[in-house]
Amino acid sequence: MTPSEIARVTNYLRRTFDNNRIAIDPPRAKGQPVEMRIGDEFLGVLHRDEDEGEVSYSLQIMILEEDLPPLA
């Protein structure tokens, strides 16, 4: 993803979720994923898809079992 695409998707997510703490980090090296976080908390990875000239973005959010509260 280009820096322009990252900025556009970041702005979209911030508006959609009404949260200015959302950040998308460019990959640290070529071939690594684009990561999404809120503040310091990693939430998931963002993928860019292009099919027949149409571009879309998908966000895969990870929830670790160890981060879930215990059942009541």
Residue 72 lies in a domain: no
Residue 9 lies in a domain: yes
Query: Could you tell me the residue range of the domain that residue 25 belongs to?
Result: 3-63
Does the predicted model carry a pTM greater than 0.85? no
Contact 21, 38 (CB under 8 A): yes
Tally of domains within the chain: 1
Residue 53 lies in a domain: yes
> pLDDT at position 72, please?
84
Residue-wise pLDDT tens digits, 9-66: 999 999 999 999 999 998 888 888 899 999 999 999 999 999 999 999 999 998 989 9
> Could you give the CA distance from residue 19 to residue 13 in angstroms, rounded to a whole number?
8
Residue with tokens 């702005």: 11
Residue 13 lies in a domain: yes
Beta strands at 41-51 and 34-38: parallel, antiparallel or unpaired: antiparallel
**Residues sharing a CB contact under 8 Å with residue 43, sequence separation 6 or more, in sequence order:** 36, 37, 61, 62
Residue 70 lies in a domain: no
Residue 69 lies in a domain: no
Contact 60, 44 (CB under 8 A): yes
